[in-house]
């Protein structure tokens, strides 16, 4: 066995100093394919990378144990809810964009699947204060 062959899997991708692995090894570890991980990345379902491009061209994405845990948790959520990755990506978008959340909520209310959100106490107090200010103004 040569000095470079002292790993149990000589053709396996090598971890870097931080323990991060390339996409092929990451896919194997989470029970997926590299193509599916790229698809999930395009949907915004992978943790953002802190790496910057180096050398000529683009540095290949490497995955840490924390990244793999996060990816696995997302995949488990999809399995539990019986939804595709695109549905999870859309749900995250709705949660991240208040205007979209409002539009989706209104649609759900029109369909009868959601009840109107209750008025918040602060909104009620604000309306009451505005009404009192309006009534307290002297009339010309």
pLDDT for 122 equals 65
Residue ranges of the chain whose pLDDT lies below 70: 1-18, 50-59, 118-122, 136-140
Give me the pLDDT at residue 126, please. 77
pLDDT of residue 51: 60
What's the number of CA atoms in the CB half-sphere (13 Å) around residue 116?
3
Kindly list the structural domains of the chain, giving each domain's residue range(s) and its CATH number in brackets, ordered by start. 1-82 (1.10.1660.10), 97-140 (no CATH)
CB 71 within 8 A of CB 40: yes
Residue-level pLDDT at 37? 94
For residues 77-114, b (16+ Cβ closer than 10 Å) or e, as one string? Answer: ebeeeeeebeebbeeeeeeeeeeeeeebeeeeeeeeee
Q: What residue has token string 């103004």?
A: 137
pTM of the model: 0.65
- Looking at residue 134, its pLDDT comes to 73
């Amino acid at each position: 066995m040569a000095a470079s062959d002292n790993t149990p899997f000589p053709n396996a991708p090598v971890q870097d100093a931080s323990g991060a692995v390339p996409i092929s090894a990451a896919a194997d570890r989470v029970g997926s394919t590299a193509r599916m991980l790229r698809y999930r990345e395009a949907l915004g379902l992978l943790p953002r990378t802190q790496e910057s491009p180096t050398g000529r061209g683009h540095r290949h994405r490497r995955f840490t144990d924390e990244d793999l845990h996060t990816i696995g948790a997302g995949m488990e959520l999809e399995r539990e809810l019986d939804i595709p990755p695109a549905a999870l990506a859309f749900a995250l978008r709705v949660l991240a964009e208040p205007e979209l959340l409002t539009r989706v909520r209104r649609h759900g209310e029109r369909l009868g699947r959601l009840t109107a959100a209750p008025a918040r106490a602060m909104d009620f107090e604000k309306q009451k204060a505005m009404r009192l200010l309006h009534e307290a103004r002297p009339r010309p």
